[in-house]
Amino acid sequence: MIVGIPKEIKNHEYRVGLTPGNVAEFIQHGHTVLVENNAGDAIGFTNEDYITAGAKIVSAAEEMFAKADMIIKVKEPQPNECKMLRKGQLLFTYLHLAPDPQQTRLLLESGCTAIAYEMVTDKKGRLPLLTPMSEVAGRLSVQAGAHCLEKAQGGSGVLLGGVPGVKSAKVVVIGGGVVGLNAIRMAIGMEAHVTVLDKSLDRLRELDDYFGPKLNCIYATKDNLEKYVQEADLVIGAVLVPGAAAPKLVTKEMIKAMKKGSVVVDVAIDQGGCFETSKPTTHQNPTYVVDGVVHYCVANMPGAVARTSTVALNNATLPFALELADKGYHQAIHDNVHLEHGLSVHRGMLTSLPVADALNMTYVAPKEALAMRDQAISA
């Protein structure tokens, strides 16, 4: 199989779909790898590194998209990239389609087959290709929030951990999953006063057992959300509904009731955001202010630490990507239900139920969509 690795073109996105080390794995399995010129150069993976690993360097994305059977990316394809995709081609990347009708439409029109990293599962029902970036984003959320609290950034001028004689800041984390866990670890490490809200009592018990008295574990009712958000210096939105749009848990009224100079960081922004006042921002212009509250809503947060993120992501994606290349996507999806869960678009059909529900579009079950291909071949 010919595997293509484009250079990411989203604002301040420096991650890359394959590291040189993982390129070498594909070469060892008998595949051809095309890497766009300088695709990894910004994070220290040079063209020479890729050539040494066995890849071929192509000068333009158009050439790579035209030749490759499988495209491995990091971020969702931008409109001009979607238009380069074709029928029968496989795209393996993050998609986040639920809040993005334009991308969904373009992928359907292309006729390609697209598997979303964020929907691939494992034997325990977890999301192994989303987990490493959730870990990075959770840790970054507190780092970014602490920076935004600085007076020069529009914040209230509060230091998260305080100093002797001065109280520490109040950090509220909404959601106790992978993002929330990593945000909590960072915030406690910085000696902030930390509260987590979650609807799962089992998860709250797990977090309480892990962190003990350092963490305040609260059941997430509307009243509790209002109370703790209003008192917070920093709120981290760490809510995930796999594949679906994030619920708007923090309303405009709750934001308006917060202290001036407080900060919200919406890690759920890739799925539409969990604050009613959220809108996507970029690393170039990461914040804006609503009712005196600083909003940090960067849609590709892990791109800020692109080398760490690339290596962490590649560690997780390699086994799945190799299976797709070795077997072809049709056989790989047939053999591996976890890849089937990630199948989002196939030959003009939308095969992700949460996305279809979010966008009010027609859903075709993955097995049904793939069977149509089998019927066409037998005919």
- Assess whether 270 carries a catalytic annotation: yes
Q: What angle is formed at CA 270 by the lines to CA 269 and CA 276, rounded to 5 degrees?
A: 30
| Beta-carbon contacts of residue 175 (< 8 Å; ≥ 6 apart) | 196, 197, 198, 237, 238, 239, 240, 268, 274
DSSP string covering 248-300, please?
A: --B-HHHHHHSPTT-EEEEGGGGGT-SBTT---B-SSS-EEEETTEEEE-BTT
Packing angle of the helix pair 20-28, 306-327 (nearest 10 deg): 10
Per the residue annotation, which of 100, 266, 270, 341 is the catalytic one?
270
Q: Is the dihedral of CA 272, 276, 282, 283 positive or negative?
A: negative
Determine the Cα–Cα distance for residues 24 and 284; give it in Å rounded to an integer. Answer: 34
Tokens of 226: 């209002």
**Who contacts 90 (Cβ-Cβ below 8 Å, separation ≥6)?**
69, 70, 71, 112, 113, 114, 115, 324, 329
Is residue 41 annotated as a catalytic residue, yes or no? no
Catalytic residue, from 96, 338, 341, 346: name it. 96
Phi then psi for residue 199, to 5 deg, are -90, -10
Give catalytic residue positions: 96, 270
